[in-house]
Amino acid sequence: MMMENVIQTNDGSQIVYKKFKNGVGYAIYVPPDVNPNTPVFTYVYGSGRKSCWYNGPYDSLIKNGSDSIVIFPSMEWNQDWGKNTMEIVNSVRSEYGIVNNNVSGGGFSYGGDGGYRVVLENLKQQGASNLDPQIVYLIDDYSNMTYKRYNTTLSSDDINYFKENNTIFFTYENKSSPATEAFAKAGLNIIKVKCDNGRHSAIRTDFFKNGIYDYMAGGSLPLEGYTPSRPIVTVDPKTGKQVVTWEEIDISLIATKEKLYNYY
């Protein structure tokens, strides 16, 4: 699918594709009422690359806009997604006078680790304790980093950054994932969200259609179609191994960012 450089949105704004440097590019949406406190949301596509921006992400922004600046980075898989994306974020902050240093990040399928990398880099640059609890969305994650090689990814240094910040991970999926359990065993704040519409591409499409990408900017989670659960981690007295069970959460208790913070 050919990538358009400028797409008009119904709120009078635009989605604009820009080249950055070293083969890195990005698409960006900026709300018409952007102000110094506007938060940033970043999203990494799946193996379909830029074509994954259309069905769901672009459609939702065209129809509904956002109260967040939304950035879609694009680069080769072997490049540093965290540092490159944060360099884009910092340039956008400078351009629009953004003083809100919060970044929520999401990634879909093969790019599922995108939110992990970007939020972690932001914590390193800004200081984990200087920020509100950040939010990472693993959107039906099948990435090499946070799904296939999660044991290597979950280093003690990374875990400490996330713990110091009280970062909260949402994993939208319809599978039993050992990676999700590993996040829980590491002591991280993770909420597993079972999606009623559990088809792979539908999870991505509904994430945007239901406005979840605007959660950090004051949006609300949909009360139907999703079942969130929190982990209960115990130790088996016979084997000494950690065991994870999941306890359903009343979604109304975490429907807004403020309620989520109070819940934790």
pLDDT tens figures, 80-111:
999 999 999 999 999 999 999 999 999 999 99
pLDDT over 50 (residue 65): yes
Mean pLDDT in residue range 6-33: 96
Could you tell me the CA-to-CA distances from 72 to 5, 128, 170, 179 in Å, in that order?
13, 23, 19, 25
What percentage of the chain reaches a pLDDT higher than 90? 96
Res 13: pLDDT: 97
Torsion 93-259-123-25 (CA) sign: negative
Q: What's the mean per-residue pLDDT of the chain?
A: 96
- Residues with Cβ within 8 Å of residue 8, at least 6 apart in sequence: 14, 62
Pairing state between β 135-139 and 168-173? parallel
pLDDT over 80 (residue 61): yes
Which residue has better confidence, 1 or 257? Answer: 257
pLDDT over 90 (residue 176): no
pLDDT over 50 (residue 251): yes
What percentage of the chain reaches a pLDDT higher than 70? 98
pLDDT over 90 (residue 55): no
pLDDT over 80 (residue 1): no
Nearest to 11 by CA among 92, 51, 68: 68
pLDDT tens profile 99-142? 999 999 999 999 999 999 999 999 999 999 999 999 999 999 99
The answer to whether 198 and 174 have CB atoms below 8 angstroms apart is yes
Res 2: pLDDT: 42
The answer to whether 190 and 182 have CB atoms below 8 angstroms apart is no
pLDDT over 80 (residue 3): no
pLDDT tens profile 201-213? 999 999 999 999 9
Q: Is 240 exposed, middle or buried (0-12, 13-18, 19+ CB in 10 A)?
A: exposed
pLDDT over 80 (residue 38): yes
pLDDT over 90 (residue 171): yes
